[in-house]
């Protein structure tokens, strides 16, 4: 799906940058063509500054979204999920980031979550990036406790794990 969305803007890398930002941040586009998070409007100048494009690029991208029924349905229904990842150091939580070889393989989240649960460790949040919407999807698990070294090694040795990172 991500590739199909990006193809609609293949002639404009700047518009693709706007699309990528909207998807990554979970920003919606309302009926007036304004970028919003919930009911809060995000100024197009702020979006443009963030990705280094002119404000008019944001305007033309939101116009194109509203003109395409498929894009309209996607971008009027997307929403943001609050993440504990940036708060982890403040709240003394552990973030385990997992890069996998094939994000479409079934059971990845279930396998890792059950391994952590088997150690009696509570998972506060799990975020799994959708392989349809990002080029390099990752799995993030935020836990109440530090993960033991032997568990980290077991996870690292799973067939589908390419790389792990602890924060």
Above 80 in pLDDT, residue 134? no
Mean pLDDT, the chain, whole residue set = 93
Residues paired with residue 143 on neighbouring β-strands, in sequence order: 94, 123
Pairing of strands 28-29, 94-100: unpaired
Our measurement of the distance from residue 41's CA atom to the centroid of its chain's CA atoms, rounded to an integer in Å, reads: 20
pLDDT at 112 over 80: yes
Asked if the model's pLDDT at residue 23 lies above 80, the reply is: yes
Of 157, 48, 149, the residue nearest 166 (C-alpha): 149
49: confidence class by pLDDT, cuts 50, 70, 90: very high
Is the pLDDT at 61 greater than 90? The verdict is yes
Alpha carbon of residue 40 to chain centroid? 20
pLDDT on residue 160: 93
Q: Is the pLDDT of residue 104 over 90?
A: no
């Amino acid at each position: 799906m991500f590739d199909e969305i990006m193809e609609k803007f293949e002639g404009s890398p700047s518009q693709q940058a706007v699309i990528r930002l909207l998807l990554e941040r979970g920003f919606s586009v309302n009926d007036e063509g304004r970028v919003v998070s919930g009911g809060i409007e995000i100024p197009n100048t702020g979006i443009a500054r963030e990705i280094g494009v002119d404000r008019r690029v944001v305007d033309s991208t939101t116009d194109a979204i509203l003109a395409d029924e498929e894009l309209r349905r996607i971008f009027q229904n997307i929403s943001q999920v609050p993440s504990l990842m940036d708060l982890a150091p403040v709240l003394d939580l552990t973030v385990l980031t997992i890069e996998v070889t094939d994000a479409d393989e079934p059971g990845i989240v279930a396998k890792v979550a059950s391994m952590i649960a088997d150690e009696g460790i509570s998972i506060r949040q799990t975020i799994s990036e959708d392989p349809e919407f990002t080029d390099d999807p990752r799995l993030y698990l935020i836990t109440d406790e530090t993960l033991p070294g032997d568990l980290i090694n077991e996870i690292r040795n799973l067939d589908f794990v390419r790389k792990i990172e602890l924060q």
